[in-house]
Amino acid sequence: MSKNDRIFVAGHRGMVGSAIVRKLQEQGYTNIVTRSRSELDLVQQSEMKRFFAEESIDQVYMAAAKVGGILANNDYPADFIYENLMIEANVIHEAWRAGVKRMLFLGSSCIYPRLAPQPMAENSLLTGVLEATNEPYAIAKIAGIKLCESYNRQYGTDYRSVMPTNLYGPGDNYDAQKSHVIPGLLRRFHEAKESGAPEVVIWGTGKPMREFLYVDDMAEACVHVMALDAETYQKNTQPMLSHINVGTGEDITIRDLATTIGEVVGYSGRIGFDTSKPDGTPRKLMDVGRLHSLGWYARIGLREGLAKAYQDFLSSTRR
């Protein structure tokens, strides 16, 4: 792999894709190819075929996906499974057809069984029942891993997969309903501070535990994994268990997360709980041993990351 490779970052306008583009530029990669949705619809196979035939791409980062928080996953299951399956199948198949040798597919920690032993190791995949609120999304992401592995086994490609824990940071979706917990709570605590509201109500019981990774750390892990030589990647994975977890190895209750967000935002009122909303998986802490043995560790702590994310939220309200 060379710094002059033509690298297609699919989903470069999203939180993760834009962080990967920033990280590649920072590390001296000079030939990054991006397309907006209006220029290239990844759901359309014919468009993907034309794109790869014309562009001579060497590497692909698959950061394009339909994503959302617990309620969005629960409310729009058809969109989540259809769009993600189509994007993965089109990008992976057409990249292979055009001779792309190396790819990085990005999945999610929700691929693991709802009650997987904690921390969740890569070999927990397909050992139990998935969490109901995001099963369609998880099935699509599992299909993405299996697409990569199948093309590797049958055609000798070098398609890798990383499974990030819950991500947050600049470029997040701050929608009150459809977002993940951190952007949703940054908005709610900020608005409560501004209006002087005595209480912020968070969803569920506050008892579930989650692990959070700042998106710039995730981008750095992605570039690190892609830059490994093929022998090292293969030595640390297995042909049919080829994905690598990405996380911090530490988790926190949603209640403590809310308290920390309140402190970062500067809100001093009460926290209430709306238990009519789902809790989702009780816990999903990543086993990051495989990644550590490959030489990568997370660097940005939660409080530091939340402070940066809050600044991004504030500037998004001015954009």
Min CB(150)–ligand GFB separation in Å: 23
Instruction: Catalog residues that contact ligand GFB under the rule CB under 6 A.
Output: 69-70, 73, 108, 110, 133-134, 137, 166, 179-181, 184-185, 202-204, 208, 210, 254, 277-280
Burial class (CB in 10 A: 0-12, 13-18, 19+), 220: buried
* DSSP state at residue 136: H
In one-letter notation, the amino acid at residue 134 is N
Min CB(192)–ligand GFB separation in Å: 12
In one-letter notation, the amino acid at residue 123 is N
Reading the block at residue 190, the tokens are: 């900020």
Closest to ligand GFB by CB, 111 vs 225, is 111
315 vs 112: CA distance, rounded Å: 35
Closest to ligand GFB by CB, 157 vs 166, is 166
Closest to ligand GFB by CB, 185 vs 298, is 185
Q: Where are the alpha helices (DSSP H) in 156-229?
A: 181-195, 215-227
DSSP letter for each residue of 115-132:
TPPSSBPGGGTTSSPPPG
137 flagged as catalytic: yes
Residue nearest to ligand GFB according to CB distances in the complex: 69
Min CB(66)–ligand GFB separation in Å: 10
The single residue of 29, 61, 112, 137 carrying the catalytic annotation is 137
Closest to ligand GFB by CB, 184 vs 305, is 184
**Could you tell me the CA-to-CA distances from 121 to 104, 106, 171 in Å, in that order?**
19, 17, 29
Min CB(168)–ligand GFB separation in Å: 9
Question: Which residues are designated catalytic?
Answer: 137
